[in-house]
Structure 1
Amino acid sequence: MRVSISKSSTQLNKIFSEIEKQTEYLFVYNNQIDVNRKVSVNVKEKQVAQVLDELFRDTNIEYMIQGNHIVLSSKENKQETQQQSRRQISGVVVDDNGDPVIGANVLVKGTTTGNITDVDGKFSFEVPDNAVLEVSYIGYLTQEVSTKNKSILKITLHEDTQNLEEVVIVGYGTMKKSDLTGASGSVKEDALAQRTVTSFGQALSGRVSGVNISTNSGRPGGRASIRIRGNSSISVTNDPLYVVDGVILNVSTLTNGTSPIDYLNPNDIKSVEVLKDASATAIYGARGANGVILVTTKKGEGVGTSIRYDTDFGIGVLPKKLDVLNAAEFLQLEDLAYANAQKFDPEGWQNGNYKDPKLKRTDSRLFDSNGQPLYDTDWQDETIRNAFSQTHQVSVSNTKGGDSYGLSVGFRGEDGLIIESYLKRYSARFFMDSELTKWLKVGGSLSYAYQKERQTDSMGDGGITVGRQIVEALPFLPVRYEDGTFAGNNDYPGMEGGNSPVQVAKDRNYTLETQTMLGNVYANITILPGLEFRSVLGANIINQKSNYYGGRQLIWISSPNGSASVNNNRNNSWQFENYVTYHKDFARVHSFTGMVGLSWQHVDNSSSTASATGFEDDFFQYNNLGIGTSPTAASSANAYGLNSYFARVNYGYKSKYLLTATARLDGSSKFGQSNRYAFFPSVGAAWRISEESFMKPATAISNLKLRASYGLTGNSETGAYASQGSLGNYTTVFGSSKASGIGVSSLANPDLKWEKTSQVNAGLDIGLFNNRVNLEMDVYYKKTTDMLLSAPVPASSGFTSITKNVGSMSNKGFEFSINTVNITNENFSWETTFNISFNKNKVLALSEGDDDIYPGPDILSSSNNIIRVGEPVGSFYGYKRLGTWGTDEAEEAAKYNLRPGDLKLWDRNNDGQINDMDRLIIGKGIPDGYGTFSNSFRYKNFDLVVDLQYMFGNDVLDISKHSAEDRTGIANSYKTVLNAWTPENQNTMIAQIRPTGAGYTTNIDSHFVEDGSFLRGKNLVLGYTFPSELTKKISIKYLRVYGSVQNFFLITKYNGYDPEVSDATQTFAQGITVFGYPKPRTFTIGLNVSF
């Protein structure tokens, strides 16, 4: 290879960089080589070896060309080694994956005697007897290895996850971790590779402080709720902004509240960066209020061709069963209810309104001749199964010089715990990067995923779900009768009609099919040294189709003889971004990086739906809606655009005083002309105290940095035409004639603008003992103003409300994390990570008058949530249950038209009646704090990971108690009803057992609220990596087998399946459940192999 260089009085390392740019060579050397020495070179089209000869003439440096590497060494080191040598040793240095570490320094501890590993990671030199080697490489923990009684060594270096020189991804660029002024967190490839994850939410869960991830459903494909530093909005999304390889994902809600990030194959992820404070997120302006998550996918690594296969097989089991009545207990309570009817309603009892249960037990399919049940069915056993899952991923990549390309294909199949539920995902991804010239690099990637899932936890007519029927199906019913027909509650007189959970799962067919494409192409142009231009064109296309059919044999309330629907949604997002970055270091004192750019994004959505009811048979299901008796159809479409201009400046003085300033101007078509553009600035500063001269004596402190920032971000994720009025079809009557026309259905508000969030952050980073102990602490205050809410308007307008910018909300909190390398040596290492986060949310103001907002869901007679000034958003709202009325309180109970044995609610204002004025806040789903405690161990070739997750200060509103506890006598119930009121047991929260649920109310009250705090064993992974000496004999580069258990224990006071739940649809809601889908305990075995 030939090079042309003309440099005068230039540092040697810059000459090396020039040679690397013009060739495929990379220089490898240790810190004994003086690369700051200045030289002058003037050559044209000369061989590299000739240039090196000239550079090192009359010096103590010699070189060796090994493949694509130029290895430099010092002649004095060799002479010193020869004088002190006693015996020859050799070995190889590899990383955690078994790949060779090229250019690692291998020195005798306390001396300069040593060598540098070659392209195969090998080294060889002479050492004194009993010498201790010190092995180091940038980005890895330094390893000390004894040579006593050893002549051949294999040394594994482990990645230093806290390396301050680590390069991290930030918006529109990269930075050294040591230069960061903002609050951010990282999840690296090794942490992802050690754990079995099936979704993006699982990959990120517990890894970064300040990020609360709640997996609200245990069904395959169940979405995780991800919140960074709390909820910042009431009416628009609280999801963070996702950026994958520079492409911004449209966060518009898709079918069933899914998000584009849900369909990213977690096996394709290389790293995740979480930007938390305004200094880090303001570069994304109007979409940065909820934090930003940057995802980098895997690219080609190393040299040559690499083939990798990853697979796992798992079994999910139900960790905990619900306690429900068996057949004997149900019939015993039914008898008790009949007996109590004589006292509760003597007149009705005398008139024959209540039937003796013994007279109902004559169906020979269910009872014997003595009225005893023939069956005692455990519906959990019949409906919940052991769920099989499997994953397969094949990746092929090739890297040569500045070019790399690769392809990966994957499959994920997962059965749900509930029968008939499943998920199947097929994915493929292609990438290419090519260095066409020394100044031009181009590339791109394209990923595709197809996912089909059958969901059994969707709400059906009358609120009938599989989860509800698991509890409420009568236990003395069989799954099927002898003739093959399904048994149901309506087969027994006096019961609330409902099919068995098995029949609901089989005859209610809801499938969701999703196709996603995510791609980008880019060009990087080096205009001048330090000056680069980057252009990126990205696209994210999502097509979703949901099909639903409820069979004719299901018992309906609103849709007799079957119901079907087909929904199609299409979401297209395109973006084009261009920016210029300039970096310059001045005399090793000043460091400057500037970036300026512009962005364009266009999003369009379309949807169509068709439905029908009343079918003659179930054959066609949703495939022929026209044969239904009442088909309907609807469609919609919208589009919007965003134009943006952005800039960032980073300045550092002697790597001690750091400053970051960003600015972004966003313009959105969603808002009126006068409010279309908004400006979002931020500033951050940091002081690396550890770099001050007065800190040099404090050798234990390797890093001490103080950070502070302030900035403004926004949230523009409102409707595409939110500022404009809308029209609708109306029908009216003139005399005896009916006329149709178009009229205004909502008022326009041209003054509508974005929600804005200001945030102040202060942080402290501490590294101790050569960064073997790293602590990060942050405190923050975040305030959202101009929230988009409905505000009342004069009645003369013909409307009751209009969307306006009113109201504000705050979040304040504290985050702490510590990472420690407790032990690291040749055979054993132990690392610990602990993080904890506290966040307090408060509504500061609402619309005019600060009137309460009742956002729902209205699962019973009224809203279960309330939004009130001074309280956390989405607090639970209802009555306070004091217990039950006692016999000595009969006179007092009669004032409320109640009697002993009825539920006793608190009369807050003591006005003698129970009404809305007595409702109050009874709990909150948002936790006070949460975090993770993780330990990673390595002993020789074994690795062990233990992850614990915890949450505290949160409640669960379990509305299933209304149906399965307060309405005894018309369906099966929880076993807690065995503690119901009796004259001998009056100190109880459960009302007296009465026929047909007599005496129950349709109110939310405090008895439904339980403590949702928990400690969970999240991941337990044990792996073994086969020695490379063994695997290379069969042409395998890397081979690891492992076993894991997810959700391996749970400690909680909550009585349901799992406290980590939310069946509500509001973006801020958490902790509300109505017969939710249980989470599995999953046992997995897996294999990772590369060639």
Structure 2
Amino acid sequence: MSLSKLSRAFSLIVLALAAHVSFAQDRVITGKVSDASGAPLSGVSVVAKGSTLGTQTDAAGQFRLSVPASVNTLVLSSVGFETREVAIQGNSLTVSLAAASSSMEDVVVVAYGTRRKTDLTGSVVAVGAKDFQKGNINSAEQLLVGKVAGLSVTTGGGSAGGGSRLRIRGGASLNASNDPLLVIDGVPVDGNGISGSANLLNTINPNDIESMTILKDASATALYGSRASNGVIIVTTKKGGKGALRFNFNNVTSVGMIADYVDVLTADEIRGIINRDATATGNNTYKAMLGTANTDWQKEIYQAAIGVDNTISASGSLGNIPFRASVGYLNQNGILKTNNFSRISTAINLSPKLLNDNLAVNISVKASQTQNRFANEGAIGNAVTFDPTQPVLSGNRNWGGYYEWIAGGLPNDLSNRNPVGLLMLRDNRSTVNRMIGNAQFEYTLPFLRDLKLQANLGMDFADGSGNDNTDSVSATAFRDGGRKRYYEQQKINQLADVGLFYSKDIKKIKSKVDVLVAHSYQSFLTKVSNFPALSYRRIYDPANPAKKDTIIGSEPVFKTDRPEYRLESYIGRVNYTLMDKYLITATIRSDASSKLNPDDRIGYFPSVAVAWKAREDFFKNSKSINDFKFRFSWGVTGQQDGIGYYSYLPRYSLSSNTAMQQFGNAFVSYLRPEGYDPSIRWETTTTTNFGLDYGFFNNRISGTVDYYSRETKDLLANVAVASGANFVNEIVTNVGNINSEGVEVVLNLVPIRNKNVTWDLSLNYAYNKATITNLLRNPDPKFKGQEVTGIGGGTGNTIGIHAVGSFPNSFYMLKQIYDGNGNPIEGLFEDTNRDGIINNDDRQISQKPAADVLLGFSTNLTIKKFSVGFTGHGMVGNYLYNNVNSNNAVMRAVKNPVRFIGNATRNFLTTNFVNNWYLSDYYLENA
């Protein structure tokens, strides 16, 4: 054998031995990975530290990995969990992963991204699922009641599925909308709602919401530009996470009752008043009208409102794709009979990572169908005013069998109506289908990890339709017949955002910078189908009792409309942090809106904010102070909701079917010119905010203090125009300014926090003052202000005013004079201008409907797995006008001049007024 052959043979032997030794040194490690609750986690990455050897856990959370003997540590990681290094001890491991530190206390959803709470420079409040209002929640805004300083949530009407009025820092406008902008999973939605729905947010299942972030100051809201002057509420829905499949079922069964009845006179009291009047006057006309019943009309129309809300959800991983899916069903009766709201909802979220985890995808779809039966709310007023001496049913089939006041054999045109009949003989139902979906993409460049490409494609589709039918046998239909009205509307809101996000830690100078540059395009299309109301008669034949509806006259004209507007924007933001204690945020957004003429349609909305974590300089070594940060921000936002889609263009509208012109035997529609302002533009609001964030004793005591001032210019207002100058009496245009300022204080306490018991307390206080500083383009010493706030009763009565130097919508009343016992003297008012005449010139600005102070309080006590909580809220300094008393606490309400008997509120026994005095400030009450 040659030397070369021996050499080769030796080499092969050595390599074989080396391989054998290496193989002998490998070992197989098995294990199981679970979360903190013990549930198995699938898709967890298990890597031998210092190598590329790795695997993933299966659906049962188990893994098997062969590693060299030199490897002593495994690294386990998964989205949503803290990365953990585990020492290899033996061949079998059991590992538990803790959830990642991404709670609402740490990371906050803001405009176009997220930020650590400690790095916020603006006035931002995040409310997470654990802090939401609990109980019977039908609509998302109810989750926030009493939770946020400066946010008022006022329920409107109390109908099932009905909405609430949201105001952040009181609002910034006069005649335009004061509603905050709503952003749902990155999609700004149209705040005008959809036909057939009383509430924009009731189409979303509250059980699907993970958090709601309220952006208050201009630094936080400026990235939403021309729609953000009244603040922004960002709604983020729940997402899935890696792990085993989990199911959750939630049920809430509720019973609601009317809070209080209007205090009215009883049937016996009405009989006493009428009998005494007949004796005094010798006129028995009204006495003869008295009935023998004792009907409590309010109890006849109200009911116990039973509701059931069920949601089932599933979350976990489909392979390596985190997901969450839910289905919900809500059925809620209203406290007013015949009122009902139901909702079927579903939500799906997928959040996979692709391309070696470089591409993060988040797909979210929320769909719902809501059905409403709207009660005839006219029954509420009529239950207060209808004669309690009369029965509900008349004993015959006329007018549906319900008792009505009759004149000449027909229902009295001017009398009130049987409230039960109003409810039962009108059927108003609607169906709304809605889908909000979006796909978000974030791609991290492999060759430049600091740069990410981002895109958000979204759509909000809503379709509402309904039928509003009044039975032809109803007393309200005796002249024109029954009414059948069908309505339909579609809204399509499409969004396309694309941008670049760059983030870099510059360790040499202890700095961090991130930059966002983006382009946004959004279109809003509305399809309106105007189906005119049809009048019909129901023919009743005793020989053939089947009902037959016959249309009166010819079928009127059907019309459609497709208004649309578009918004194109460019967005820029820079966040800079120095030494993790000095922070600067600068933003700019330009908006181009098709609502405005080409010369004025582009607006620029900048902001700048700075913050200083003073703890690092003054309390660094303190064990009791863990947060002490000063904030300052300034910025400009806009408002365009008060502008019509085509307000700057001359345009014509088709007349309604009740306003047609007759030519011979034919009736034809005509075109009517609309008023317009070619130079209309959006309002602009400039806000300055000073803030302090504090935390003591490991945040056992924490909170915020904010002071803000705000000025709104170019107010959108209804302004009178000279006759013949613009086809109409008034137009919407830009005129006037409002200034406002306020203080907000939040105090959070944790009196008890240990292994078994946690007790949390939260209090918030908000003060706001607004003043109109200008309402005219040209000074006019005779101009007192713009009268607003119409009321029920009388003709053309208004009780409010927008006036320079006053709060918007201040009450504008006559000053009542009282007798020695403190009772109002009928018809006697103060002659404030001393001209000897009591008229409109004597009215004075007196009080306001807006509160000076908003208060919120919440507490929660958790003992192991049992939890109980309480939330309260209140207002101070606001007044209301009691239109119920001004209308009904008078003799003419009982003994009506058009010859029927009504009822009066109990306040009549105090005033003994004969006539109505709608403008008396006696009817202003501390709310």
> How far is 1:117 from its partner?
9.0
Aligned residue number for residue 1069 of structure 1 = none
Aligned residue number for residue 544 of structure 1 = 464
The one-letter code matched in structure 2 to 1:979 is L
1:215-234 map, 5 Å: 215-234=155-174
Which of residues 673, 683, 706 is equivalent to 1:745? 673
- The answer to whether residue 381 in structure 2 is matched with residue 441 in structure 1 is no
Aligned residue number for residue 1025 of structure 1 = none
Partner deviation per Cα, 1:174-215 (whole Å, 9 max, x = no partner): 111110000011110212385442211211222111111111
The one-letter code matched in structure 2 to 1:855 is V
Is this contact kept in 2: 1:66–1:119, CA < 8 A?
no
Which of residues 587, 591, 603 is equivalent to 2:524? 603
Which of residues 171, 178, 187 is equivalent to 1:247? 187
Residues 513, 559 of structure 1: alpha-carbon distance in 2 compared, 3 angstrom cutoff? farther
User: How far apart, CA to CA, are the structure 2 residues paired with 1:657 and 1:540?
Assistant: 39
The one-letter code matched in structure 2 to 1:574 is Q
User: How far apart, CA to CA, are the structure 1 residues paired with 2:77 and 2:584?
Assistant: 42
Which of residues 184, 192, 198 is equivalent to 2:132? 192
> How far is 1:262 from its partner?
3.2
1:291-330 map, 5 Å: 291-330=231-270
Residues 974, 697 of structure 1: alpha-carbon distance in 2 compared, 3 angstrom cutoff? farther
Is this contact kept in 2: 1:360–1:492, CA < 8 A?
no
User: How far apart, CA to CA, are the structure 2 residues paired with 1:1008 and 1:964?
Assistant: 12
SS of equivalent residue, structure 2 residue 475? coil
Aligned residue number for residue 4 of structure 1 = none
User: How far apart, CA to CA, are the structure 1 residues paired with 2:547 and 2:831?
Assistant: 50
Is this contact kept in 2: 1:884–1:902, CA < 8 A?
no
SS of equivalent residue, structure 1 residue 304? coil
1:280-359 map, 5 Å: 280-340=220-280, 342=281, 354-359=283-288
Aligned residue number for residue 455 of structure 1 = 374
- Provide structure 1 residue ranges, at least 5 long, that are not aligned to the other structure: 1-22, 30-38, 79-115, 122-136, 141-158, 343-348, 367-372, 459-464, 890-899, 981-988, 992-998, 1013-1091
1:69-218 map, 5 Å: 71-72=84-85, 118-119=95-96, 139=101, 163=105, 166-192=106-132, 194-218=134-158
User: How far apart, CA to CA, are the structure 1 residues paired with 2:77 and 2:144?
Assistant: 40
The one-letter code matched in structure 1 to 2:925 is E
The one-letter code matched in structure 1 to 2:856 is T
Number of equivalences: 844
Aligned residue number for residue 713 of structure 1 = 637
Residues 324, 648 of structure 1: alpha-carbon distance in 2 compared, 3 angstrom cutoff? same
Residues 359, 765 of structure 1: alpha-carbon distance in 2 compared, 3 angstrom cutoff? closer
- The answer to whether residue 894 in structure 2 is matched with residue 968 in structure 1 is yes
Aligned residue number for residue 950 of structure 1 = 874
> How far is 1:240 from its partner?
0.9
- The answer to whether residue 760 in structure 2 is matched with residue 831 in structure 1 is yes
> How far is 1:979 from its partner?
2.2
Aligned residue number for residue 23 of structure 2 = none
Residues 856, 814 of structure 1: alpha-carbon distance in 2 compared, 3 angstrom cutoff? same
User: How far apart, CA to CA, are the structure 1 residues paired with 2:869 and 2:926?
Assistant: 29
Residues 288, 54 of structure 1: alpha-carbon distance in 2 compared, 3 angstrom cutoff? farther
- Provide structure 2 residue ranges, at least 5 long, that are not aligned to the other structure: 1-41, 57-62
Residues 224, 66 of structure 1: alpha-carbon distance in 2 compared, 3 angstrom cutoff? closer
> How far is 1:626 from its partner?
4.7
Aligned residue number for residue 780 of structure 1 = 708
The one-letter code matched in structure 2 to 1:830 is W
SS of equivalent residue, structure 2 residue 476? coil
Residues 712, 66 of structure 1: alpha-carbon distance in 2 compared, 3 angstrom cutoff? closer
Partner deviation per Cα, 1:222-252 (whole Å, 9 max, x = no partner): 2100011112112221111111111110123
> How far is 1:259 from its partner?
4.8
User: How far apart, CA to CA, are the structure 2 residues paired with 1:623 and 1:767?
Assistant: 73
User: How far apart, CA to CA, are the structure 2 residues paired with 1:715 and 1:766?
Assistant: 33
Which of residues 622, 626, 646 is equivalent to 1:698? 622
> How far is 1:564 from its partner?
3.0
Partner deviation per Cα, 1:39-68 (whole Å, 9 max, x = no partner): 9x6x667889999989987xxx74487999
> How far is 1:733 from its partner?
12
1:423-442 map, 5 Å: 423-437=341-355, 438-442=357-361
Residues 737, 236 of structure 1: alpha-carbon distance in 2 compared, 3 angstrom cutoff? same
Residues 624, 761 of structure 1: alpha-carbon distance in 2 compared, 3 angstrom cutoff? farther
Is this contact kept in 2: 1:306–1:397, CA < 8 A?
yes
> How far is 1:594 from its partner?
0.6
Residues 26, 193 of structure 1: alpha-carbon distance in 2 compared, 3 angstrom cutoff? farther
Is this contact kept in 2: 1:409–1:429, CA < 8 A?
yes
Of 531-540 and 558-567, the range deviating more from structure 2: 558-567
Residues 117, 812 of structure 1: alpha-carbon distance in 2 compared, 3 angstrom cutoff? farther
Residues 402, 833 of structure 1: alpha-carbon distance in 2 compared, 3 angstrom cutoff? farther
The one-letter code matched in structure 1 to 2:746 is S
Is this contact kept in 1: 2:538–2:548, CA < 8 A?
no
- The answer to whether residue 327 in structure 2 is matched with residue 409 in structure 1 is yes
Aligned residue number for residue 591 of structure 1 = 512
Aligned residue number for residue 695 of structure 2 = 767
User: How far apart, CA to CA, are the structure 1 residues paired with 2:519 and 2:173?
Assistant: 27
Residues 442, 617 of structure 1: alpha-carbon distance in 2 compared, 3 angstrom cutoff? same
Identity %: 26
Residues 304, 475 of structure 1: alpha-carbon distance in 2 compared, 3 angstrom cutoff? same
Residues 446, 733 of structure 1: alpha-carbon distance in 2 compared, 3 angstrom cutoff? closer
Partner deviation per Cα, 1:358-382 (whole Å, 9 max, x = no partner): 4445xxxx4xxxxxx2x21122222
- The answer to whether residue 808 in structure 2 is matched with residue 873 in structure 1 is yes
Is this contact kept in 1: 2:322–2:351, CA < 8 A?
yes
SS of equivalent residue, structure 2 residue 132? helix
Residues 964, 560 of structure 1: alpha-carbon distance in 2 compared, 3 angstrom cutoff? farther
> How far is 1:936 from its partner?
0.6
- The answer to whether residue 812 in structure 2 is matched with residue 859 in structure 1 is no
User: How far apart, CA to CA, are the structure 1 residues paired with 2:327 and 2:243?
Assistant: 21
- The answer to whether residue 757 in structure 2 is matched with residue 757 in structure 1 is no
The one-letter code matched in structure 1 to 2:525 is D
Aligned residue number for residue 15 of structure 2 = none
> How far is 1:483 from its partner?
4.7
SS of equivalent residue, structure 2 residue 336? coil
User: How far apart, CA to CA, are the structure 1 residues paired with 2:667 and 2:266?
Assistant: 59
Is this contact kept in 1: 2:537–2:550, CA < 8 A?
no
Is this contact kept in 1: 2:240–2:315, CA < 8 A?
yes
> How far is 1:622 from its partner?
14
Q: For the aligned residues, what is the CA RMSD?
A: 3.8
Residues 733, 278 of structure 1: alpha-carbon distance in 2 compared, 3 angstrom cutoff? closer
> How far is 1:253 from its partner?
4.7
Residues 411, 181 of structure 1: alpha-carbon distance in 2 compared, 3 angstrom cutoff? same
User: How far apart, CA to CA, are the structure 1 residues paired with 2:580 and 2:301?
Assistant: 62
User: How far apart, CA to CA, are the structure 1 residues paired with 2:558 and 2:634?
Assistant: 50
> How far is 1:617 from its partner?
1.4
